[in-house]
Amino acid sequence: MFGPRRAAPLFTAARRPLLLLHAGLHKTGTTALQEALAVQQQALLGQGVLFVRAGRPVSAAGQHNLAWQLMRDRRYHSAWGTIDEAAREIAAHGGHAIISAEDFETFLDRPEIFAPLTRHPALAGHEIALLVYLREPCAYLRSLYLELTQAGIAEEARLVIAQILAAGHFDLREWRFQFDYARLAARLRRGFPGRVVLRDYQALVGGSSLADFRHVTGLRLDEFDDKRLN
């Protein structure tokens, strides 16, 4: 299911400017990775890569507002940056760019929802790639359910498990959490308009999300605190 571990780094292999969409999943070190990218955004620019500013909510490093706009989430706020603004920012930069939001997970099984971003006229000259980290389903469920329970918004465990077994995903409010990775991979490869890279969270190169991200992209990034990974 997962891409070859020795494939050429994404930004090195790109023949045109590349827009990389990092889509989680949740509970795969996304927050630590986003904060590392935000802290080192000037270093990234020095490598010709833009970590997009548009779409970042207040006090967040990732471009969650863009995912919320695509999924018509109640948390979307145009003041935090829109798809049009992100596309113009990327086009003005003219080189590679990164957008990271774990809430892309909600519609990974419906890749057509990405279209307003991936097919935006301002990005016609860009290649598109999607990077997804997949966590072993039982470990993912345990970690996710604990977090949701602590936030007071989880369903009964038996109902969650029943939905996952029946549908391959778990829906809660606006979110959809993906658990049927074979079906997900098939839908992405059939419907996403660009390269799809799936990574095994249990086999991270270098033992952290940031180290693996460096390996996959070819970027030079300093280590960052990954202590929140669980």
The residue segments making up the domain with residue 89 are: 16-135+195-217
List the strands of the sheet with 127-134, edge to edge: 49-51, 96-100, 18-22, 127-134, 195-200
Tell me the pLDDT band of 211, cut-offs 50, 70 and 90: very high
In a domain, 5, yes or no: no
CA atoms 49, 111, 180, 143: torsion sign? positive
In a domain, 70, yes or no: yes
Q: Which amino acid is at 131?
A: L
Calculate the CA dihedral of residues 167, 172, 175, 176 and round it to 10 degrees.
-10
**Cα–Cα distance measured from residue 113 to residue 116, given in angstroms and rounded to the nearest whole number:** 7
For residues 35-56, give the mean pLDDT.
Answer: 97
In a domain, 121, yes or no: yes
Chain CA centroid to CA 40, Å: 18
Report the pLDDT value the prediction gives residue 4, as an integer from 0 to 100: 52
In a domain, 24, yes or no: yes
Q: pLDDT (tens digit, 9 = 90+) per residue, 144-175?
A: 999 888 878 767 888 999 999 999 999 998 89
Q: How many domains does the chain have?
A: 1
pLDDT at 194 over 50: yes
For residues 52-57, give the mean pLDDT.
Answer: 98
Q: pLDDT (tens digit, 9 = 90+) per residue, 64-102?
A: 999 999 999 999 999 999 999 999 999 999 999 999 999
Contact 140, 27 (CB under 8 A): yes
0.85 cut: is pTM over it? yes
Q: pLDDT (tens digit, 9 = 90+) per residue, 95-148?
A: 999 999 999 999 999 999 999 999 999 999 999 999 999 999 999 999 999 988
Report the pLDDT value the prediction gives residue 11, as an integer from 0 to 100: 95
Contact 192, 123 (CB under 8 A): no
In a domain, 58, yes or no: yes
Average pLDDT, the chain: 93
In a domain, 185, yes or no: no
Report the pLDDT value the prediction gives residue 222, as an integer from 0 to 100: 86
Report the pLDDT value the prediction gives residue 5, as an integer from 0 to 100: 56
**Cα–Cα distance measured from residue 111 to residue 88, given in angstroms and rounded to the nearest whole number:** 22
pLDDT at 230 over 60: no
Longest dimension (CA), the chain: 50
